[in-house]
Structure 1
Amino acid sequence: MTTEADRADHDFLIKYAGLTEADLSDEALREGDAELARNRAAAHQQAVAASWDVDRVAVFLNLEPASVRRAASEGALYSFASEVGEAIWFPTWQFTTSGLLPGLQEIVRALPRSYHPVTVRDLMTEPDADEMLGGLSPVQWLTDGHTLADVMVIIDGRSQE
């Protein structure tokens, strides 16, 4: 059953978005949904591949696994849940040769929960496009001993977008 609002959306997309009737067919929409699902799964796999599980983090930080899970739940570590099961993953960008990235707890608290782990990884590991950090990524900036405040400006700015 097509509602008047659905028809208005349909007409708008054809008139202003350059879509065709074929683009809005049930088959095309199903194909689009399937592609979106594949892309989400690939992004999740990409995030998992660049992460450690609870046991690996526990060994690295010389903690019990329960302490690692507690640190994640308290926001002292950045983590994300597996799409299947109850595994928790910890992206490696937050770990340095000497332990945790300086300012990590403040960063974790400032990151919008809606961000996908790949978005967070890119934000933290890619060079700052605005050159606030002299062409360094936030991870490099903090690892080199620079101030957290500059990184927080970038995170706050991104979360306002």
Structure 2
Amino acid sequence: MSPALEAVLAKAGLQVTPDEFLSLVADAAKRLAPPHPDPAGYFTPDQREALTEAGLDLSPHRTEDDQPRARTVVAHAVLRDSAMTVAEAARQLGVDTSRIRHRLGVGRLVGWKDRGAWRLPAWQFAGNGVLPGLEAVLAAVPNDQPALVVAGFMTTDQEDLLVENERMSPRDWLLAGGDPRRVADLATRLGTPA
């Protein structure tokens, strides 16, 4: 395997061998989208007409579309690999696994089921606790937003979160003691047109 890939994985702090990482990427690619999707095929003729009139491009896959898809596959693989199990999260927070499951059930932690087991994205943890203001932010996230979208939002610099004219990610904003209501307000807009 490539020493360069090993170095990138180590630098990113991913506890996975290059072969395991590539397997995760291949698995994510299969699950995220078929290799050559035809979006129009998912809709009835009336739905296609309405969506096309609304400005959506339902044309078949083009090779120039592969770069964004590849980025999504890699982001999904990294999100999955860096996520914690219920037991790992319980150890980090110093609580019983039942408390973690309860927090997941009531929306005080975010996670997804992977082959029947919960996975909890690492961005929501800080030291031996959870991110300050996490509960308020998660309460504002629309229910239809997938873990990858929420992770992307929480870890991407936002133009509305400025400290000394520098953009901050919602995660960094909260870690710095910023008002969780500002992040929650931004989170309510996830999945809506800009």
TM (norm. structure 2) is 0.59
Determine the C-alpha separation between the residues in 2 that align with 1:18 and 1:153: 32
The reply to whether residue 122 of structure 1 matches residue 152 of structure 2 is: yes
User: Could you say if the C-alpha distance between residues 39 and 64 of structure 1 is closer, same or farther in structure 2, counting changes exceeding 3 Å?
Assistant: same
TM (norm. structure 1) is 0.70
Deviations 1:3-62 (A, max 9, x none): x947x85xx79xx9695xxx5xxxx7xxxxxxxxx9987664332112100010010011
Q: Is the 8 A contact 1:51 1:91 kept in 2?
A: yes
Aligned partner letter, 1:68: I
Matched residue, 1:105: 135
Aligned partner letter, 2:110: Y
Give the root-mean-square deviation of aligned CA atoms: 3.4
Unaligned runs of 5+ in 2: 1-43, 62-69
User: Could you say if the C-alpha distance between residues 98 and 66 of structure 1 is closer, same or farther in structure 2, counting changes exceeding 3 Å?
Assistant: closer
Determine the C-alpha separation between the residues in 2 that align with 1:75 and 1:89: 14
Determine the C-alpha separation between the residues in 1 that align with 2:86 and 2:120: 7
Matched residue, 1:59: 91
Q: Is the 8 A contact 2:132 2:175 kept in 1?
A: yes
The reply to whether residue 78 of structure 1 matches residue 110 of structure 2 is: yes
- The higher radius of gyration belongs to 1
Deviations 1:77-96 (A, max 9, x none): 111111xx311011111111
Q: Is the 8 A contact 1:111 1:159 kept in 2?
A: no
Matched residue, 1:139: 171
User: Could you say if the C-alpha distance between residues 93 and 39 of structure 1 is closer, same or farther in structure 2, counting changes exceeding 3 Å?
Assistant: closer
Identity rate, percent: 23
Q: Is the 8 A contact 2:92 2:128 kept in 1?
A: no
Unaligned runs of 5+ in 1: 29-37
